Chains A and B, each alone.
Chain A
Amino acid sequence: TQLLEQSPQFLSIQEGENLTVYCNSSSVFSSLQWYRQEPGEGPVLLVTVVTGGEVKKLKRLTFQFGDARKDSSLHITAAQPGDTGLYLCASRNTGNQFYFGTGTSLTVIP
């Protein structure tokens, strides 16, 4: 079983602040995905990172894949209330299963 640990578990910040959430594992990922899930909805894919050291930007969101492909981070600049949600990292093992992290629940207060 590939365990994905996310931190922090809960995060509450004021609008305009910056934040970083983390996804870590003792295993090497072939690739890693970040999803955002809003209450009452299914997860929506934000990005897939594949190469060690890779950095991808999606507007105010910056995703980084660790050089050793065992960790990843998501940085949000100038957070907005619309960023509120559960952020999940996920990776696929050599078989058929996607493993999801425990998630970071983000609340951005206006």
Chain B
Amino acid sequence: NAGVMQNPRHLVRRRGQEARLRCSPMKGHSHVYWYRQLPEEGLKFMVYLQKENIIDESGMPKERFSAEFPKEGPSILRIQQVVRGDSAAYFCASSPTWGGANQPQHFGDGTRLSIL
């Protein structure tokens, strides 16, 4: 897990504030995926990005959520005007440039978001 870096590990926000979650993929990986996980549940796909492109955002709510993966720097998952229901663990994963259907993903250790 050490290869994919997520920060912060824990983030506390009050309702209505903005949350920014960062993900630096493993070296050499240009594909990034964001997932959301509630306690004792599996991971739910949110968005898939390549450098400077959103490839698939079908799992991400249309309002308040956005994601980017700039040419330089980490991928950012941004949640505006947070509500209590946004409390969850958010995981980022990356895969190599040549990733195909069988290419596994490497996960970070997640950001635990708590909304007061």
Q: Hey, which bits of chain A sit against chain B, CB under 8 A?
A: 4, 6, 30-31, 33, 35, 40-45, 48, 50, 86, 88, 90, 92, 94-103, 105
> Residue B69 at the A interface, CB < 8 A?
no
B107 and A42 contact, CB distance less than 8 A? yes
A43 and B48 contact, CB distance less than 8 A? no
Complex contacts, B45 vs chain A, CB 8 Å: 97-100
Can you report 21 A-B residue pairs in the complex whose CB atoms are below 8 A from each other? Answer: A4-B42, A6-B42, A30-B102, A31-B102, A40-B110, A42-B91, A42-B107, A43-B91, A45-B106, A88-B43, A92-B102, A95-B56, A96-B48, A96-B55, A96-B56, A97-B45, A97-B48, A100-B35, A101-B42, A102-B42, A105-B40
CA distance in complex: A94, B55 (Å)? 14
**Count of interface residues, chain B, beta-carbon cutoff 8 Å:** 26
Q: Bits for B72-115, please: 1 = Cβ < 8 Å to A, else 0.
A: 00000000000000000001010000000110111111100000
